[in-house]
Amino acid sequence: MLKIKILFFLFLSNLCFSQSKFNPFFFVGPMMHYNINAEKNKFSFSLEGSAWILSKNFPIPPSVDLGIEFERKKIRVYSELQTGSLLGLSVGPVIEFSDNDPIVGFQTSIWASFFAGIDFRYRRINKMNYYSPGMFFKLPILLNNSGLIF
């Protein structure tokens, strides 16, 4: 059942951009969060990439991101649909891998950024709530007909 959920989510994420006739802008970079819950508070580090559509058809640009987050004895893979410009919000599923079987949950974030920024993430996973203030840095990667432009 977990594999079906993952495949369905990846299908929906890809559908967002495959139906578009616009060239997206890509950003990639590191993130750091301080995860606060009722048991223990821990730092996590992640690498996240996002693809944005900039067009007159979308007054607020839509985006999808994909990230992998490392916390002591845990690895999380997540993807979120997001929107915004200097201020934004995002929501999406997260899968956590630890000593037990993979656990599916969700997370949502509010953020302020340009190339560097801050965010506040709420995650609900395994019947636990996590509140995670964080910071990040993103580099733009632009595509044209001949390939990558940094």
Enumerate the H helices of the chain as residue ranges: 2-18
Q: Domain coordinates of the chain in residue numbers? A: 2-149
Q: What percent of the chain has pLDDT over 90?
A: 57
Given CA atoms 147, 28, 47, 110 in this order, what sign does their dihedral have? negative
**Topology of the domain covering 2-149:** Porin (2.40.160)
What is the spatial distance between Cα 74 and Cα 63, in angstroms, rounded to a whole number? 26
Tell whether pTM > 0.85.
no
Residues 63-104 pLDDT 10s: 999 999 999 889 999 999 999 988 999 999 999 998 888 999
Q: What is the pLDDT of residues 100-112, one digit of tens each?
A: 889 999 999 999 9
3-state secondary structure of 10: helix
Which residue type, as a one-letter code, is found at position 133?
P
